[in-house]
């Protein structure tokens, strides 16, 4: 009964390096979301996917790209990491937009 | 632009000292308002959903209420294990966005 699984849990990158954060859910949910959480800033929406095959920008999309690979998986890519992208990243999924969200355990990313 | 604002940012209570957390929202059309609890190093966990003004939900020492402009999370006789960050979120009509507030960090002292 995994729910939402994120990998990796921790990552350190050098400025300019690229990486992909992976997210998978096993609840057959349609909608998936990527957030970043910084101290005092709450959760800010980066990108979301309402359903398989669609993606949309959230509040803070600059510097990120996403792929909804299939119904289960939604990845977040940093093409050229910057220190401002140091944060904790959370993936979430929803069965329907007006229902509760289920979150992964987060990826703590540090860009040096 | 849809906005969610929470207050206070941080709150320290003595065990047994009841209080309320506020979540104010400005949205084009509210589909639902959600409360979550987040413990350090973990993802948020769902507490309540409220859909319409006047609705109330309760769970143990927590009670959530909703008006047309804000929601309150009332904590009655809190215990140290209630210490956490409490987040509210809204989903809005016409989009699939799910927007969070900045959270309230609650510390309950024994």
Q: What is the DSSP string of A91-104?
A: EEEESSTTS-EEE-
Provide the pLDDT for residue A107.
Answer: 97
Smallest Cα distance from A54 to chain B, Å: 11
Contact list, A35 vs chain B (CB under 8 Å) = 100
Average pLDDT of the residues of chain B: 94
Q: Which two tokens stand for residue A14?
A: 């050098």
Question: Do residues A24 and A73 make contact, with C-beta atoms less than 8 angstroms apart?
Answer: yes
For B33, the closest chain A residue by CA position comes to: A98
Smallest Cα distance from B18 to chain A, Å: 24
Q: Which two tokens stand for residue A17?
A: 């390096």
Q: Residue B35: how many CB atoms within 10 A of its CB?
A: 24
What DSSP designation does B68 have? S
For A96, the closest chain B residue by CA position comes to: B96
Contact list, B87 vs chain A (CB under 8 Å) = 42-43
Higher pLDDT, A37 or B92: A37
To 10 degrees, the CA torsion angle through B95, A91, A44, B18? 100
Is B94's pLDDT higher than 90? Answer: no
* Distance set, CA B38 to CA A94, A106, A109, B28, B29 (Å): 18, 12, 19, 27, 26
- Average the pLDDT over A84-92 and give the result: 97
- Average the pLDDT over A7-26 and give the result: 97
- Helix, strand, coil percentages (3-state) for chain B, rounded to 5, are 5, 60, 35
Residue A1: pLDDT band (50, 70, 90) is low
Give which of B11, B38, B73 is closest to A35, Cα–Cα: B38
Residue percentage of chain B with pLDDT more than 70: 100
Instruction: Report d(CA B98, CA B16) in Å as an integer.
Output: 33
Provide the pLDDT for residue A41.
Answer: 80
Contact list, B93 vs chain A (CB under 8 Å) = none
Number of residues written out for chain B = 110
Smallest Cα distance from B81 to chain A, Å: 20
pLDDT tens digits, one per residue of A29-60? 999 999 999 987 889 999 999 999 999 999 99
Residue A70: pLDDT band (50, 70, 90) is very high
For A58, the closest chain B residue by CA position comes to: B97
List the single range of A75-84, B24-33, B54-63, B80-89 with lowest mean pLDDT.
B24-33
pLDDT tens digits, one per residue of B7-40? 999 999 999 999 999 999 998 889 999 999 999 9
Q: CB-CB: which of B51, B97, B101 is closest to A42?
A: B101
**What is the gyration radius of the CA atoms in chain A, in angstroms?**
13
Instruction: Report d(CA B52, CA B66) in Å as an integer.
Output: 7
């Amino acid at each position: 009964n995994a729910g939402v699984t994120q990998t990796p849990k921790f990552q350190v990158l050098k400025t300019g390096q690229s990486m992909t954060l992976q997210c998978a859910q096993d609840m057959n949910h349609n909608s998936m979301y990527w957030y970043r959480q910084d101290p005092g800033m709450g959760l800010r929406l980066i990108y979301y996917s309402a359903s398989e095959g669609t993606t949309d920008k959230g509040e803070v999309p600059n510097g990120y790209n996403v792929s909804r690979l299939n119904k289960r998986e939604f990845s977040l890519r940093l093409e050229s990491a910057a220190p401002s992208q140091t944060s904790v990243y959370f993936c979430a999924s929803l069965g329907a937009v007006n229902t509760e969200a289920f979150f992964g355990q987060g990826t703590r990313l540090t860009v040096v | 632009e849809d906005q969610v604002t929470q207050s206070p940012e941080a709150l320290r209570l003595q065990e047994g000292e009841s209080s309320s957390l506020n979540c104010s929202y400005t949205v084009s059309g509210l589909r639902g308002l959600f409360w979550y609890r987040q413990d350090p190093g973990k993802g948020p966990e769902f507490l309540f959903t409220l859909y319409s003004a006047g609705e109330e939900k309760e769970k143990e020492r927590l009670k959530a209420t909703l008006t047309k402009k804000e929601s309150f999370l009332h904590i009655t006789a809190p215990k140290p294990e209630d210490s956490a960050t409490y987040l509210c979120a809204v989903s809005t009509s016409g989009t699939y966005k799910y927007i969070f507030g900045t959270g309230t960090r609650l510390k309950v002292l024994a």
